[in-house]
Chains A and B, each alone.
Chain A
Amino acid sequence: MPELSQTEAIRMKADLVEIVTSSVVYTVSTMFGHKIDVLRSESYEPADRAITARVILFQDDSYAIFRFAFDRAMLMMLMSKFYPPEVLEAEKPFEDSACEIANIVCNRVKSYLNEQGFNLVMHLPSVERGTVDDKGRIVNLNFTLNRDRLHVDFALTDKKTANG
């Protein structure tokens, strides 16, 4: 990836926060017709039985991991517009929707960053299973349903690798 000065890195981080949050709001409202509120936090605590889709953006040896954790009740509310109740008894439609939202949001982020001079490549999204020990730059998005309102809790962290 291009070498960034400290000022450029701070600006890039602010831009990243803006592009990720605006992409999430736009994607959910366009697909499902629901408004979503964005919160910022430093912690990351997904709901019990959350469905987590992960996407990796990489360039050469550098990479960033995007983790989208969806509260099941929230996904259920969004998807009920398109699926009959019996279909929503299975796990697959939930995982499919989580991955597609992650796919759309991350493609918008990738496009934005590539326009800034990066040359990022994106893996197809996958569902996270079990405990994963992530290292590197992680963007956590925690989607929840709170009194009929949708929220996304956003946290950007850097977990240093063993090599620093």
Chain B
Amino acid sequence: MKKNPSDYKILVVDDHMISIRLLQTHLQVTGFMDIEIATNGEEASDQLKDGNFDIVFMDWAMPHRDGITVLRECRADPRFNDTAFVMVSAEAQRKNIIEALAAGATAYIVKPLSQDELKETVAKVLKWLENRSVDSGNMVNA
């Protein structure tokens, strides 16, 4: 079992570099150091194939392939059963949050991202990863 934030491998996917920098900065403050980035859904799919990531932070609306499509593809692939997917999106409507959770998102954060909300979500996601072998259907409502 992984014990420290620095043990986790993270992928941040967003088409806006400022949001990637913001998330990276907040994650590094929390102790996560192994962070890779992708700037659209297509890049993300390629990196996910052989990346062995623990947590993926994914924007929804992106060019080339959107985040919800990548999430659905990953959830249909058993290799990603133990990967946590956090949707980080400006889409604030309840129907979007429900759609993302139904598609297999572990948590959902509405932009703009705050340090406090990220910390809270990360704590829940780490718990989900710990419990993964016990309860594979568990979801976190951020």
Residues of A within 8 A of B (CB): 26-27, 30-31, 79, 82-83, 92-93, 96-97, 99-100, 103-104, 107-108, 110-111, 114-115, 124
B9-53: contact bitstring with A at CB < 8 Å (1 yes, 0 no)?
000000011110110010000000000000000000000000000
Residue of A whose beta carbon sits closest to that of B19: A100
Query: Which stretch (B67-75, B87-95, B131-139) binds chain A?
Result: B87-95
- 18 A-B pairs with CB atoms under 8 Å apart are A26-B112, A30-B113, A79-B18, A82-B18, A82-B21, A92-B17, A96-B16, A96-B17, A97-B18, A103-B16, A103-B111, A104-B90, A104-B111, A107-B90, A107-B92, A111-B92, A111-B93, A114-B93
Q: Given that A82-B22, A82-B25, A124-B61 are known contacts, is A30 also in contact with B92, CB under 8 Å in the complex?
A: no
Interface centre among B16, B19, B25, B112 (most CB of A within 10 A): B112
| Complex contact B90–A31 (CB within 8 A) | no
| Complex contact B112–A104 (CB within 8 A) | yes
Residue of B whose beta carbon sits closest to that of A105: B90
Residues of B within 8 A of A (CB): 16-19, 21-22, 25, 61, 63, 90-93, 111-114
Give the docked Cα–Cα distance between A108 and B92 (Å): 6
Contact partners of B19 in chain A: CB under 8 A = 100
Contact partners of A103 in chain B: CB under 8 A = 16, 61, 90, 111
Interface centre among A30, A79, A92 (most CB of B within 10 A): A30
Q: Given that A30-B113, A82-B22 are known contacts, is A107 also in contact with B91, CB under 8 Å in the complex?
A: yes
Give the docked Cα–Cα distance between A104 and B113 (Å): 10
CB distance from B101 to the nearest CB of A (A): 17
CB distance from A18 to the nearest CB of B (A): 16
Residue of A whose beta carbon sits closest to that of B92: A111
Extra 12 A-B pairs, beta carbons < 8 Å, given A82-B22, A103-B111: A26-B112, A27-B112, A30-B114, A31-B112, A82-B21, A97-B16, A100-B16, A103-B16, A104-B112, A107-B92, A108-B92, A124-B61
Give the docked Cα–Cα distance between A107 and B90 (Å): 6
Residue of B whose beta carbon sits closest to that of A125: B16
Residue of B whose beta carbon sits closest to that of A78: B18
Contact partners of B18 in chain A: CB under 8 A = 31, 79, 82, 93, 96-97, 100
